[in-house]
Chains A and B, each alone.
Chain A
Amino acid sequence: MKQKNLKESIGEHVNRQALSEAKLDRLMDLQNNVEEINPPYRVLQYRLVAAFSTVIIVLLTTLYFNLGPDKSLDERIGNEVALNHIKLKPLEIQSANLDVIREYFTELDFVPIESSLFKPSAKTLLGGRYCSIQGVTAAQLRFKDNQSGQIQSLYQTTYSADVFTSLPKLEEGQQPITVYSGGLEVDIWVEKGLLFALTREVQ
């Protein structure tokens, strides 16, 4: 019996093994079709990641608002209003006439009014849009100062003692409370049964 070196013999035996052309073609096709194979995996992966991320975000948001730093009501209103103002979202109704704007806000359970603390005489009313303050539907009226060109927002919503407690009421002789947020001053007060919040650039 012919004998060979173990290494050589094993090497020759293994190297004699070869895939048939049919199997090779199947493996080549597998690689060519990778783009067709992968999408379902990817889509499934992305959906799982997206769903998981959404759950985490909702959870963290809930925890933040329920267990997070216990900000005072005026701080929360100030932050919310300042953030909303800074975004300068497109106006839903553009008019310099308050009556026209009042007619637009049909979904509110109050009528937007002028405040004794905000004299629009030196300002131009640009328009308004719906928004919300602490989950209560509100109106945002946007003004432009005729002299400085500064854009201001006056927010109004129904004053609810259940939601908005401990806020200064003009009728009781109290002064607006001022909150600083996002580089803005936000004055907050209650007047004629409405909650007002006015943004102003810090002087």
Chain B
Amino acid sequence: MSSFLQQEVPLSWYLLLSAALFSLGVVGFLIKRNLITVFMSIELMLNGVNLSFVTFAHQWNAVKGQIFVFFVMMVAAAEAAVGLAIIIAVFRARATLAVDRIDRMKL
């Protein structure tokens, strides 16, 4: 049991994972052509950054990083509600979700 608890993982691996998740989110933002999946890529980026915050909270033995993640989650929830409402409004106006066809500010 003690060996189970004492095993170590370098924090840099967690940070590399977070950087990889963020980059995959950016790539998704660039290559996805559906409005909803583009929005999901943004959530992926937010999650990658959250992992960094938790890792640094562990590194500095401080709870502030975790509080930051808590606030990011709350803001992400608000953002998802408003963003999806905007997507519904856009779909009603254009009848499409393809970002290539939503290229005008005004109908």
Answer yes or no: do A and B interact: no
**Residues of A with Cβ closer than 8 Å to B?**
none
